Amino acid sequence: MASQVAPPSIIVGTHVWVEDPDEAWIEGEVTEVNGDDIKINSTSGKPIVAKSSNVYPKDPEFPSCGVDDMTKLAYLHEPGVLQNLKCRYDLNEIYTYTGNILIAVNPFRRLPHLYSNEMMEQYKGAASGELSPHPFAVADSSYRSMINEKISQSILVSGESGAGKTESTKSLMCYLAYMGGKASKTEERTVEQKVLESNPVLEAFGNAKTVRNNNSSRFGKFVEIQFDQKGQISGAAIRTYLLERSRVCQVSDPERNYHCFYMICAAPSEDVEKHKLGNPRTFHYLNQSNCYELDGVDEFKEYLATKSAMDVVGINQAEQDAIFRVVAAILHLGNIEFVTGKEADSSEPKDDKSRFHLETAAELFKCNVKALEDSLVKRVMVTRGESITKPLDPVTAALSRDALAKIVYSKLFDWLVDKINVSIGQDPGSKMLIGVLDIYGFESFKTNSFEQFCINLTNEKLQQHFNQHVFKMEQEEYKKEEIDWSYIEFIDNQDILDLIEKKPGGIIALLDEACMFPRSTNETFAQKLYQTFKDHKRFSKPKLSRTDFTIYHYAGEVTYQTDLFLDKNKDYVVSEHQALMHASECSFVSSLFPPPPEETSKSSKFSSIGSAFKQQLQSLLETLSATEPHYIRCVKPNNALKPAIFENKNVLQQLRCGGVMEAIRISCAGFPSRKTFREFSVRFSILAPELRSKIKSGNYDEVAASKMILEKSNLKGYQIGKTKVFLRAGQMAELDALRAEILGRSAIRIQRKVRTNLARKYHKLLRSSVIQIQALCRGVAARHKLEGMRREAERKARENLHSAAISIQTGIRGMVARSELRFKRQPKAATAVQDGRIKNERVSDNAKRAELPVTKDADTLKSEATGVKPQPTHSNGSVLPSHPLPASGSPPRRQTGFVTVNEDTEEKSISEDDRMLVFVPPHPLIKHWVTFMRNQHTPCPIFRNAMAELGRLLMYEASRDWLPTVTGEIQSPLAIASVEFVDPREPVVIVPILRAGLALAEHASSLLPSTKTYHLGVTRNEQTLLPTVYLNKLPDRFPAGSRVFLVDPMLATGGTIVAAINLLKERGIQNKQIKVISALAASPALQKLGEIFPGLRVYTGNIDPTVNENGFIVPGLGDAADRSYGT
């Protein structure tokens, strides 16, 4: 186990950590060792000479992802701890254990995956150390300890302002609500829902942006969550401490006032108009700072979320309206300015603008305008039975205005807390609770007043509690149990607490004393402090100030300004303000200022806020002392409040001040886990089976049993005390792992038996079901067989009948034939005479015919005269373009264009290397289907069928004169016919151009079963008519000699088909290897193809001479794909 020791002997070449004033610790390599002086070459490149006490070895095997528990570090020293935290922070692993303490480094970014319900379920009941460090693990540990040991728990979240305490507290409360929640049978909100939704309400009215934190809690909060015996939440209570009243009226740049003021300015327009609000920049209480917005925060959404949370915690709509009316009134109150009145030392509103805000504030408070003005500018002094009205000068009137704003806001905040507590309700019968403390962190600003003094006192008290638990109590326990232990020194802050709160003579006592004397001033109070504590090592007087004083806190020195210490320590309400608010016509405002008890009103005894706060802290510490504490130390990685920045020096200072290093040392060197002999032997008796029977009977030696368990577990370094077993860090987890392993094996054996029984039952049921299914199937098969036999018998009967009919027909035909033959055998003489006569007549006719001219039709005569064959014509009578064929016997001359070939033209008579041939088969079915498709009213199913049939006919024509044929026979009921088929074994490729090409090629597979199909998607831009390839399923290369049928339903301008052919040619396909199948074609497209691709063959159902101005054939197919598939 790692321990904190002096650096070992260091030699040249050792990688070490050396102290650095800027980076805290930097890495380097030892280059020379000269006694106590060590020369190091740092990673920054500069040589450093340091004392051996300031040099620590670097772990050469430090894992790249760090370790999740500091006690696992090989070298446990400050630079090692710092390196581990930074390494994990860079990986967004923001949580790390130090023994039983959780360190949380603020990521300054949202990491929602760390806080989901699925993550909560993972940590539910997980063994310690089984999962990554997380606040859920701390919450689960406290919950399990409370349930198992029946002891109340507390979780203390500490750290300086901006370290992330509030967010960690929210995570803890969410997990405890998840574990202790119970489903509500009615629509009423559950306790855990109200506890969770109290957070946004209190944050809206108690949090603000400070220099160090965008969501800083300006009050302390201790939430006590009560549980019943079943572990379900039964009640809760929220205690708050020291709301920062002065922030309502005074805001430093770049801080902000409380969030609720900005929310109400961004509220829905009807609320803004109702409260007569506007831009936050127009209000004095908000425009003292130039910061009005927060990055990533929508004030409108936050306003709605706050109102929604108020609904959950039981604040009705009327109360919500009253709350925000009071908030708006405070803003208007701050805009009232004063000038000197008509009388000396008097004051009055400055101008119409100030009077408008005065009247609006009175309207929102529902009080008399004159009464509100008098309470701000006048004071009534009662002396010996008579009252004297004293006017206030403008400065004092402004202070009176601010005092009213602060006391109203403070009363409003207290009302919210009380309302939430009443709504949640406490369980008087609960014996167990888990307290979660979220209190302001240590603060040190340029100006530190009474609020910072009280905040830092709180942190000093919590640090002492931490010290007592982690150090004093640990060591006292070791001594009490008489185990071997070496004492470790630690920093004790008791002297600071004595300086602040000791009676008599502490700073708070002297402050109360000064407040009780009317003539005391800030200067006299400061001089009293200088005189009393001039020799105190934790107190000093700044050289250039007569009213400031400095205290050396555990987290660093802080200089306080005493200017407002006396005023802020006095807890009183101006009687005029009390009377004004109590007389309000609004019951809500009036309830905030109930009449004081008679004895209190008559008494002039001074009430100290500092002393009252000290008593609150004492009560809090007593509550914490009665619980088993768990600690979360929050760390702020940088002062810029930005993600991915880790400032070593800043982090290390927080670790030192928070006592983390001391906690690490005592966790490793001490025994953080302990159990009484009875608890230990009962819990781990499973590790020693021979003890089980004795433990069950209760007749056994607990000490001997515990020792036997430890010996069988092979643990080292543990201690046996007088009443307890003490284990090193991690050893409890080892024992739990062994116990879980044995329980797991036992569970497996039980599961095996249960599964065997279940499998046997399932097998029997399955076998019975199979037999039933088999019987059913056999019955069906037998019936099918019987039906087949019946049909076979009927078929044979028909065949016999058919054979008999043929035999009869044969006999009859034979008789007829023989009769005809006898008729033909007439006397041969008559036949011979007739033959001679006929022969003579034929000779005479031939002689006459030789004298007549030969008749030729006009096309033939024109052809013979010009030497040009007649041009083929379109089905509608138009002449198709063509080019003359080369003369027979002469070598072909290269020409472009195309020739239209009808069915009777023989392809071998045409030059195949220079011409593109277009085939328009005159098949009547082709013309039939083309007519169907060109009819715009043809339904989609018929259109698709027409496309498929036309494609099959064109494919047959195209394949018949390209692919080899085989002779086959077709047998009909009356005869056997011999026909030629395209050889279906011949491998060809079909490339349909999507989508309509699919319809045209739909029946191709029935004609050519061995084809391979590759889809190609090409579309045409409607404006530019340019093609675009949007799908290409063609192979990178086609096999040599492949024959490709390219299917495109309509060839209009030719752009689409040219793009498709180019893609084929890129893959090794030549023009002669391509045949284009098209339903319709236009001359422009054919002319383009003929010019670009000589030798190409095109098969189409019809040719149109031209296209319209949009590049379409009219009447064409329309959108052939939509018409085919009905889309």
Break the chain into its structural domains and give their ranges.
1-133+637-670, 332-408, 450-571+607-627, 674-729, 898-1125
Does residue 864 register a pLDDT over 70? no
φ, ψ of residue 637 to 5 degrees: the values are -75, -20
* Cα separation, 499 vs 539, whole angstroms: 8
Does 165 belong to an annotated binding site? yes
* Cα separation, 636 vs 168, whole angstroms: 13
* Cα separation, 216 vs 309, whole angstroms: 20
Does 161 belong to an annotated binding site? yes
Find the catalytic residue in 14, 98, 154, 161.
161
For residues 471 and 488, is the Cβ–Cβ distance under 8 A?
Answer: yes
Find the catalytic residue in 96, 152, 207, 213.
213
Average the pLDDT over each of 593-597, 606-610, 731-735 and give the range with the smallest value: 731-735
Does 160 belong to an annotated binding site? yes
Tens of pLDDT, residue by residue over 416-462, are 999 999 999 998 888 899 999 988 778 888 889 998 999 899 989 98
Find the catalytic residue in 166, 199, 448, 584.
166
Q: Going by DSSP bridges, is the β-strand pair 37-42/24-34 parallel, antiparallel, or unpaired?
A: antiparallel
DSSP letter (8 states) at residue 873: B
Residues comprising the chain, all counted: 1127
Q: Going by DSSP bridges, is the β-strand pair 55-57/15-20 parallel, antiparallel, or unpaired?
A: antiparallel
CA torsion angle 650 651 655 657 (round to 10): 20
Written as one letter, the residue type at 169 is T
* Cα separation, 1050 vs 1111, whole angstroms: 11
Does 159 belong to an annotated binding site? yes
Average the pLDDT over each of 524-533, 775-784, 810-819 and give the range with the smallest value: 810-819
Q: Which residue has the tokens 């063959």?
A: 1097
Residue 296 CB burial class (10 angstroms; 0-12, 13-18, ≥19): exposed
pTM of the model: 0.61
Q: Which residue has the tokens 């967010």?
A: 167
For residues 659 and 463, is the Cβ–Cβ distance under 8 A?
Answer: yes
Does residue 1114 register a pLDDT over 80? no
Does residue 178 register a pLDDT over 60? yes
Residue 339, strand partner residues = 348
* Cα separation, 718 vs 670, whole angstroms: 10
Does residue 654 register a pLDDT over 60? yes
CA angle 33, 37, 42 (to 5 degrees): 75
For residues 578 and 593, is the Cβ–Cβ distance under 8 A?
Answer: yes
Give me the half-sphere count of Cα atoms (radius 13 Å) on the Cβ side of residue 692.
5
Which residues make Cβ contacts (< 8 Å) with residue 1103, sequence separation at least 6? 874, 880, 900, 918, 920, 1080, 1081, 1082, 1083, 1086
890-898 long-range Cβ contacts below 8 angstroms, 24+ apart: 894/1094, 896/1090, 896/1091, 896/1094, 897/1087, 897/1090, 897/1091, 898/1086, 898/1087, 898/1089, 898/1090, 898/1098
Q: Which fold has domain 1-133+637-670?
A: SH3 type barrels. (2.30.30)
* Cα separation, 834 vs 829, whole angstroms: 9
Does residue 346 register a pLDDT over 80? yes
Give the orientation angle of helix 731-824 with respect to helix 677-684, to 10 degrees: 20
For residues 421 and 238, is the Cβ–Cβ distance under 8 A?
Answer: yes
Cα 385 → chain centroid: 71
Written as one letter, the residue type at 923 is H
Q: Write down the CATH number for the domain with range 898-1125.
A: 3.40.50.2020
Q: Quick check: is 441 catalytic?
A: yes
For residues 869 and 910, is the Cβ–Cβ distance under 8 A?
Answer: no
For residues 891 and 943, is the Cβ–Cβ distance under 8 A?
Answer: no
Give the model's pLDDT for residue 845: 53
Tens of pLDDT, residue by residue over 125-149, are 888 788 999 999 999 999 999 999 8
Q: Quick check: is 213 catalytic?
A: yes
Q: Tell me the CA distances in angstroms from 1117 to 762, 1038, 1049, one per residue in order.
A: 62, 32, 8
Residue 984: pLDDT band with limits 50, 70, 90: low
Which residues make Cβ contacts (< 8 Å) with residue 624, sequence separation at least 6? 154, 156, 435, 437, 465
**Domain 1-133+637-670 and domain 332-408 have a common topology:** no
Tens of pLDDT, residue by residue over 924-962, are 888 888 888 888 888 888 888 888 888 888 988 888 777
Q: Write down the CATH number for the domain with range 332-408.
A: 1.20.120.720
Residue 466: pLDDT band with limits 50, 70, 90: confident
Q: Going by DSSP bridges, is the β-strand pair 153-158/628-635 parallel, antiparallel, or unpaired?
A: parallel
Higher per-residue pLDDT: 851 or 95: 95
Residue 1054: pLDDT band with limits 50, 70, 90: confident
State the sign of the Cα–Cα–Cα–Cα dihedral 165, 170, 176, 179.
negative
Q: Quick check: is 216 catalytic?
A: yes
Options 3.40.190.10, 1.20.58.530, 1.10.260.40, 3.30.1360.180; CATH for 450-571+607-627 is 1.20.58.530
Does 975 belong to an annotated binding site? no
SS3 assignment, position 1106: coil
Q: Give the gyration radius of the chain's Cα atoms.
A: 51
- For the chain, the farthest-separated pair of C-alpha atoms sits apart, in whole angstroms, at 181
Tens of pLDDT, residue by residue over 269-294, are 999 999 999 999 999 999 999 999 99
* Cα separation, 732 vs 119, whole angstroms: 24
Does 66 belong to an annotated binding site? no
Q: Which two tokens stand for residue 699?
A: 């007749």
Find the catalytic residue in 66, 80, 435, 441.
441
Tens of pLDDT, residue by residue over 827-845, are 554 555 556 665 665 555 5
φ, ψ of residue 672 to 5 degrees: the values are -70, -20
State the sign of the Cα–Cα–Cα–Cα dihedral 871, 875, 880, 885.
negative
The pLDDT of 762-768, averaged and rounded, is: 94
Does 166 belong to an annotated binding site? yes
Give the model's pLDDT for residue 890: 33
Find the catalytic residue in 80, 99, 129, 162.
162
Find the catalytic residue in 255, 373, 443, 474.
443
* Cα separation, 211 vs 256, whole angstroms: 9
Q: Quick check: is 217 catalytic?
A: yes
Average pLDDT over the chain reads 84
SS3 assignment, position 46: coil
> Which of 1104, 1105, 1102, 1047 lies closest to 1077, judged by CA?
1047
Give the model's pLDDT for residue 206: 96
Does residue 1081 register a pLDDT over 60? yes
Does residue 598 register a pLDDT over 90? no
Q: Going by DSSP bridges, is the β-strand pair 1097-1100/916-919 parallel, antiparallel, or unpaired?
A: parallel
Q: Quick check: is 448 catalytic?
A: no
Does residue 123 register a pLDDT over 70? yes
Give the model's pLDDT for residue 794: 92
Q: Quick check: is 289 catalytic?
A: no
